[in-house]
Amino acid sequence: MSTALLIEQLLNGLQLGVMLFLMAAGLTLIFGVMGLINLAHGSLYMVGAFACATVAAATGSFWIGLAASLAAAALAGAIVEILVIRRLYERDHLDQVLATFALILIFSEGTRWLFGSFPLYLDIPPLLQGAVPLPGGGQYQLYRLAIIGVGVVVAVGLYLMIARTRLGMRIRAGESDREMIAALGIDISTLYTVVFALGAGMAGLAGALVGALQSVQVGMGEPVLILAFVVIVIGGIGSIKGALFGAILVGVVDTMGRFLLPQALLFMLPPSQAALVGGALASMLIYIVMALILAFRPRGLFAAHS
């Protein structure tokens, strides 16, 4: 195993983590501010990917598609918040889970109705094709580096927005005491719509970025959603910082597990068995990590307020 391969795999883990962060940040923000469990977050990811693929195919430009994905997902988020989610804030988590699960089904069948059952095509833009050299003689794909870059920019932007702007102040206030900021004359329902649209926009961006790497198809959001939930549980529900650390931890642990576990087992088992057992263990690894973290820190690494 060379250094170059190791560095490449670490970057792969980081890239997966950054992508999970874009999903988890919105999820945890919505939970932190509104106390809502949104299972339909994966559908907004799918909306972003479909919007990007459709617009990119029509205009020939990935970048217009990317802008469209942000706009479409944020708009879909705002509409869903106003029509459905708004009625759920006062209800308990079971009702929220049921209603947002229904939204998954509506989004999935609606998307099929509009776009058909066959997966769509989306390629990475010519500007980001190719690879850059790594120390140690390896190469790394430029597009994946760009995803890491986007993740860093979004993380910094989100931090600045929450720490330095009026909107961020209101979001923090909403997290600590909802009734009080409403009493102070802040239009809480607009704030909720904005926060929901912001989370949706980030999910849509993630969907579009990842759509160029994999297939744009109905149901693409749900596997990512499960990982995003693991991330926010590890990071501490409601904490953006927790989402960032949790996402990178999950991304790196998952990638390195898939890479190293089968090789480690080669010392004990014949190759075919090592691949089988190693693969099975690797798929459990992040859940084992989650269980361990919860055993020692039941509220996650960066527990937000109760």
Partner 1 sequence: MKLIAAGIFSAALALSSTALAEPVKIGIITTLSGGGAGLGIDVRDAFVLAVEQSGNEEIELVIEDDGQKPELAVQIAEKMIQSDQVDLMTGIIWSNLAMAVVPNTVAQDIIYLSPNAGPSALAGANCHPNYFNVAYQNDNFHEAMGQYAAQNYKNTFILAPNYPAGKDSLTGFKRFYTGELAGEIYTQVGQTDYAAEIAQIRASGADSVFFFLPGGMGIAFMKQYAQSGVDIPVMGPGFSFSQDVLPAVGDAALGVKNSASWSKDLDNEANKRFVEAFEAEFGRLPSVYAAQSWDTANLILSALSKASVKDKEAFRAALKEADFESVRGEFSFNNNNHPVQNIYVREVIKEGDVLTNRIIGTAFEDHSDAYAKDCPM
> Residue 75 CB, nearest distance to partner 1 (Å)?
24
Nearer to partner 1, 86 or 112 (CB): 112
b/e 93-124 (16+ beta carbons within 10 angstroms → b): eeebeebbeebbeebbeebeeebeeeebebeb
Nearer to partner 1, 79 or 222 (CB): 222
**Residue 217 in contact with partner 1, rule: CB under 8 A:** yes
Answer for which of 37, 159, 279, 303 binds partner 1 (CB under 8 A) is: 279
Stretch that binds partner 1, among 32-40, 73-81, 115-123, 287-295 (CB under 8 A): 115-123
Q: Yes or no: say if 247 and 158 are a contact pair by the CB < 8 Å rule.
A: no
Which residues between 120 and 149 bind partner 1 (CB under 8 A)? 120-121, 123-124, 129-131, 139, 141, 143-144
**Residue 283 in contact with partner 1, rule: CB under 8 A:** yes
**Residue 168 in contact with partner 1, rule: CB under 8 A:** no
> Residue 207 CB, nearest distance to partner 1 (Å)?
11
Instruction: Name the β-bridge partners of 131.
Output: 141
The closest of 258, 225, 260, 231 to 245, measured between CA atoms, is 231
Which residues between 240 and 259 bind partner 1 (CB under 8 A)? 255, 258-259
**Residue 213 in contact with partner 1, rule: CB under 8 A:** yes
Which residues between 10 and 49 bind partner 1 (CB under 8 A)? 12-13, 15-16
Answer for which of 47, 244, 282, 304 binds partner 1 (CB under 8 A) is: 282
Q: What are phi and psi of 216, to 5 degrees?
A: -90, 100
- Residue 176 class from Cβ within 10 Å (0-12 exposed, 13-18 middle, 19+ buried)? exposed
> Residue 51 CB, nearest distance to partner 1 (Å)?
16
**Residue 8 in contact with partner 1, rule: CB under 8 A:** yes
**Residue 210 in contact with partner 1, rule: CB under 8 A:** yes
- Residues in touch with partner 1 (CB under 8 A): 1-2, 5, 8-9, 12-13, 15-16, 108-109, 112, 117-121, 123-124, 129-131, 139, 141, 143-144, 210, 212-220, 223-224, 255, 258-259, 262, 271-272, 275-276, 278-280, 282-283
